[in-house]
Amino acid sequence: MNKVRALTTGSGFTLLEVMVAVAIMAFVLISLLGLQSKGVQDVMLAEHITTATLLAKRQMTDATMVKPRLPLTEEGQFPEEEFKEYTWMKTISPTPLAQIMEVRIAVLWKQGEHQEKVELVSYE
């Protein structure tokens, strides 16, 4: 009977056990908040890349509709208000084959401190 009573008399947690449990929970919560922040940044970057790719595709279509004088280098901004943070660069240059030209479109934007870029290349 003494053995059973000795096993059941300890009720509750010690202060050290509670402190260790709180420290583990704090570590896990801080890690989860960091992951959420990184996830939001990744979603924002994906949105910028998607938008820049569509804008580059539009510029590529415009560039290949006309036969310009080579070589050609231009840059500018998009006229729409929602794309004001994006700029574009267009380079059209000859290739060793006389009838084929290289069309290179880059769309750039600022992501924090970094300059990000999406670039499309086509041979027309």
**CA–CA dist 49, 75 (Å, integer):** 19
Domain CATH code at residue 29: 3.30.1300
Q: Which domain holds residue 64?
A: 14-123
Q: Establish if 30 belongs to a structural domain.
A: yes
Taking the model in full, what pTM does it have? 0.69
Q: Establish if 100 belongs to a structural domain.
A: yes
Beta strands in 34-113 (DSSP E): 72-77, 87-94, 101-111
Tens digit of each residue's pLDDT, the chain (124 residues): 445 444 444 577 888 889 999 999 999 998 888 788 788 888 988 999 999 999 999 999 988 887 777 788 999 999 999 999 999 999 999 889 888 889 999 999 998 888 999 999 999 8
Q: In degrees rounded to 5, what are phi and psi of residue 49?
A: -65, -40
Number of domains in the chain: 1
